[in-house]
Chains A and B, each alone.
Chain A
Amino acid sequence: KNQVEQSPQSLIILEGKNCTLQCNYTVSPFSNLRWYKQDTGRGPVSLTIMTFSENTKSNGRYTATLDADTKQSSLHITASQLSDSASYICVVSAGSNYQLIWGAGTKLIIKP
């Protein structure tokens, strides 16, 4: 069964600190993996996308990694800001019809 699991479910850190969010997937065949940021009550916004051959991709203070062998991805946030408070969702595209498998998200809270 195609699944995407994210950890932790929620995370609280102090402003300025770094953090890493995890995504494990059991999806086959794999097409690509995307990280979205969703502010409360708003639609998700894409942060990064990685295909099978890409190991890392950055978008400002956000850096995503992908290990296709272990089927794991991480999203590292550097020097967190209050505006980083949001849910971060891992989405894997799978199969010949590119079905999207959505993770439940990690809720990140940045405290001043």
Chain B
Amino acid sequence: DSGVTQTPKHLITATGQRVTLRCSPRSGDLSVYWYQQSLDQGLQFLIQYYNGEERAKGNILERFSAQQFPDLHSELNLSSLELGDSALYFCASSVKLGRGGDNEQFFGPGTRLTVL
């Protein structure tokens, strides 16, 4: 158990809909990362937040948005869903911004999104 929690574990929805994925980082971790992993594909970095502020953006679609709240939990909002958005969505947290050789990301169990 990494200490990172994600809800829900599974989500099934229809095309065109909007969903919200939630992540609670490890106690004390200030940085949160979101990743997308399609079937049999590698992890794709979406976005990073540090202490409530956006710090880095990856291959995140305009239909997707995220935020980190004062209590440090984060939400990833996916709208106008398409079939191709079906994937595992992972959240990870780390203590720092991602700097330093000893900084490690701890991953949550993921949310499996199925768009029908």
Task: List residues of A whose CB falls within 8 A of some B CB.
Answer: 31-32, 34, 41-46, 49, 51, 89, 93, 97-100, 102-105
Contacts and interface: CB of A to CB of B under 8 A. Distances in A.
B71 interface: no
B96 to A, nearest CB: 9
The 4 closest A-B pairs by CB, nearest first: A43-B107, A104-B42, A51-B101, A32-B101
B108 A49 contact: no
Interface of B: 2, 4, 41-45, 56, 88, 90, 92, 97-105, 107-110, 112
A89 B35 CA distance: 14
B45 A100 contact: yes
Contact of B110 (A41, A45, A51, A98): A41
Contact of A102 (B45, B56, B103): B45
Nearest to B110: A43
B43 A44 contact: yes
Nearest to A43: B107
Question: Which label, helix, strand, loop or mixed, suits the secondary structure of the B interface?
Answer: loop
16 contacts: A41-B110, A43-B108, A43-B109, A44-B43, A45-B107, A49-B104, A89-B42, A97-B98, A98-B97, A98-B98, A98-B103, A100-B45, A100-B98, A102-B43, A102-B45, A103-B42
B94 to A, nearest CB: 10
Nearest to A54: B101
A43 B90 contact: yes
Nearest to A42: B109
Contact of B42 (A31, A99, A105): A105
A43 B2 contact: yes
A93 B104 CA distance: 11
Contacts of B97: 98
A42 B110 contact: yes
A87 B97 CA distance: 26
